[in-house]
Amino acid sequence: MSAEIVIYVVSDSAGDTGEIVVRAAVAQFHPVYADIRRAPFVQDEGTIEKVLDKAKAEKAVILYTLVIPGLRDYMARRAAEEGVAAIDVLGPLIGSLESQTGIKARQEPGLNHVLDADYFRKVDAVEFAVKYDDAKDTTGVMKADIVLVGVSRTSKTPLSMYLAHKKFKVANVPLVPELRLPPELFKLPKHRIVGLTIGTHYLNIIRKERLKALGLPDNAPYATTERIERELAYADDVMQRLGCVVIDVSNRAVEETASLIMECVRGNGLSRGE
């Protein structure tokens, strides 16, 4: 049975680092679901107090990446006083680096977000993933570094966004028997396409949970075994025609699947933005 934990990511910058750490850790506890709530650009003790109040009421965990020493010390002290589990990600490392190098930390939030060429490539890739998600605009198929294909609920969108943060431009195409495939798909080199498949049992559970989340009965045709088997058979046929690599996402975290995709892509000599 799945469980849920609320985790507040508190940062005096955007909070990207903290969220990445949380997701990497939670992936080790599948099927635990983490409700990650960011508190970014924290600049005062009052904001910390508000987060502590919420976390205490919800029995949540706080993970913080505060580089300003005063805020970091305040969070540690007040969390201990309130009995809230709070994890300091950067403090111990910054202290060790200061000790080893003899150099005082700059104590400036957001230095890892310097607006360099790398940053803008990431922004472009994220915008690309949003624009060409779910084949809303099929022209993206020919422009993408990677095209993901698969039936509904095989993590195409989360994977597109994750890979975008690795600076890959990703488009994804849903495989639905009733929908016409974009002809552009068959013009692509097969090494630019990755097929996503999943076990019938896993997909049945995921789709039922999705229907429940939408307030719909879980016995709708979308989640029936018969419908799922039909879709997967259709998807398998399409992937064979495309000649693409196929990855089974059953019981795999997004990060693990993304790592496999990047291995495949790099193994074929494709780098970001080619």
121 with 242, same domain: the answer is yes
203 with 138, same domain: the answer is yes
CB within 8 Å of 265: residues ≥ 6 apart: 145, 146, 168, 191, 194
Q: What is the pLDDT of residues 78-91, one digit of tens each?
A: 999 999 999 999 88
23 with 35, same domain: the answer is yes
For residues 58 and 31, is the Cβ–Cβ distance under 8 A?
no
As given in the structure block, the two tokens for residue 159 are: 């994977």
Q: Above pLDDT 90, what percent of the chain?
A: 67
246 with 132, same domain: the answer is yes
Residue 246 amino acid letter: V
Q: What is the DSSP letter of 126?
A: H
The domain containing residue 11 runs over which residues? Answer: 4-113
Residue 68: strand, helix, or coil: coil
- pLDDT (0 to 100) of residue 91: 87
Task: Give first-to-last CA distance, the chain, whole Å.
Answer: 43
For residues 9 and 38, is the Cβ–Cβ distance under 8 A?
yes
**Residue numbering of the annotated binding site for ADP:** 150-157
Whether residue 274 is contained in a domain is answered as no
54 with 126, same domain: the answer is no
Whether residue 273 is contained in a domain is answered as no
Per-residue confidence band for 2, with pLDDT thresholds at 50, 70 and 90: low
Q: Is the pLDDT of residue 93 over 80?
A: yes
Per-residue confidence band for 273, with pLDDT thresholds at 50, 70 and 90: very low
Q: What is the pLDDT of residues 8-29, one digit of tens each?
A: 999 988 888 888 899 888 888 8
- pLDDT (0 to 100) of residue 111: 66
**Residue numbering of the annotated binding site:** 150-157
Q: Is the pLDDT of residue 114 over 60?
A: no
Q: Return the minimum-mean-pLDDT range out of 32-41, 196-205, 234-243, 263-272.
A: 263-272
Q: Is the pLDDT of residue 129 over 70?
A: yes
Packing angle of the helix pair 225-242, 200-213 (nearest 10 deg):
120
Bridge partners of 146, per DSSP, are 170
Q: Return the minimum-mean-pLDDT range out of 12-16, 241-245, 270-274.
A: 270-274
Bridge partners of 7, per DSSP, are 36, 61
Q: What is the 3-state secondary structure (H, E, C) of 86-112?
A: EEECCHHHHHHHHHHHCCCCCCCCCHH
Domain boundary residue, one of 113, 144, 167: 113
Whether residue 148 is contained in a domain is answered as yes
